[in-house]
Chain A
Amino acid sequence: MEFCYFPGCTLKNKAKDLDRCARLCAEILGVKLTELPEWQCCGGVYVSTSDDVAVKLASVRALIAAEERGLPLLTVCSACHNVLKRTEHDLRTNAEFAAKVKAYTGSEYKGTVKVVHYLEMLRDLIGYEKIRSAVKYPLDGMKIGCYYGCMLLRPGRVMRTDNPEDPVIMEELIKALGGEPVAFPERSECCGAYTYAESETLTEKRSERVVQSAKNCGAEALVTACPLCKYNAGKYGDLPVLYFTELTAKAFGV
């Protein structure tokens, strides 16, 4: 099983553990991740206005490169995943956007690339049974709050990663690794995102509320796929926040 891998800028510096553990676990599961040599930063957030083409070109180029190789495009970071999946959707559903893109890049996207999040790969292509059998050190009933945030799930109609109102994709993984997922009300609400320079209070209030709600429901740690959720929740809350790939690597003993 082979994928074009789009690590994204954050996984190359502040979120090295997310990347390193993703690669180690892929190896154990027999998945080949071929890093796209020509990837550029996705921009961190999707811009929805119809005439903004230039800001999406990095994603378009990654999609075209994956299409040329005939491989699905895999990401681990929630933000890259959101931007790539939505741009891919735009290319297929918005003829005006596709035509402008063609004029800019000189190449055409045919619409054959599947954008896959690592968690989707684990669920749909590997299966939790195989993951369970790769576990050497089960998480021993550790109580874990799965913190989805927003970008992995929404907009649900485009992302289709999981049901945005009742996601289970991370809970199922935690169960397969021997942990005990804990539900909490804020698990798919935003951490306050990128507003650090705009508002002194927004990220602080949001992240405090997320972490407090997880603690109230008995979580001993949070797990996430998003470097920004990890940073904000870790900065303003008092629970350990881990990447799902770190926990997977820990359970696999790598």
Chain B
Amino acid sequence: MSEAFGYVYPNHEVFWGILIVIYPYFVSIITGMVTIYAISEFWRKELKPLEKMILVGTFPFVLSALLPLLLDLGQPQRAFEIYVTPNFSSVMAVFGIVYLTELFAILGELWFVYRVDFIWWSQTERNPIKRLIYKILTLGVYDISKKAIEIDHKVIKVLTFVELIAAWCLSYVSFLFGVVKSNPWWNTTILPVSFVFGGLAAGGAMVLILYLLFSSYYGKRVDEKIIDIISNYVFFFLLAAFALEMINTILYAYKEDIAWAVIRITSTELAVPMAIAVIGSLEALLFLRYSRMVSGALKQIMVVIASISVLIAVFALRWNMVIGAQLVDYSLRGYVSYTPPLFGKEGILAALFVIAAPFVIMAIVNYFLPPYEKEVEETEISRPTTSVSEA
């Protein structure tokens, strides 16, 4: 039977490759991290110690979210056209504006959160170049009165809100990558919701990993309570995403409608990503659940394993959405298969480069805006803090 496939509709091609998978993936991670940030800002004051770290972690992802799209463009030098000739009736085109909102919100957030530190560093930093940079970043205002800091906190709240909305809108744009293809399996009302929940889980997992990394880099004690709170969120986000996907699929199987035909046709092509998504999610759910009952190194190992599986499983889900949606012909008479090439602009190496980019940027951001102080450093003058109660 398979002989007949592959050429029945030969004009059918996979245009969106692995890079377009990475784009919604990054956006998911951004959405998740921003949401955890908002949670720490609005509800769970216990997560406050993480706020700078989450910002330092999110900012590089926001910066590099455009990278896969740029690499995918045939003529990257024309990318600015979306601003020069804006089209407000296209959600895809409005993406540029949403992205800028997100970028500026997070830049503003960084500035307000680090403002007191800038002032402190501009006085104490030994490296003259760094000191100059901090001096410029203070914008010439050295006001650390209680009132000024209170205003900072209000502004930060507003910016967090803007950032949260922008991040969720970005998510919306990126699941369009699946819906635009409009094959029955992916053309469902549940997709946006399960997409966002998957993203929240991925972002939370990224926060967990970064928290452990930053803590060991700065020699800080890992606070198990923080890990518990976040892994609890990740657990429920992942559970929601997983349950929604499953309900959807079971509903299709029960109705045996057109979408079920699509699932059956593609199941051979998508077997590996689907298996990764299902097994990865289940395993992560188990580990997250039981990590709460242990403590110490074992807990950290379990959380790291779970977080990595969440990240991989969500990547597999994005793969299913972007690539999978393109594999089936609209007439359901055949499918094409897709293996990314190793080299070239859209190859696996380029994809690895893109995935590594945020971490490289993160190291640079961390150099200029360290979220914590090294535990060994000791200064005589007591350092001003950003929190009102202590100031």
Tell whether A and B belong to one assembly.
no
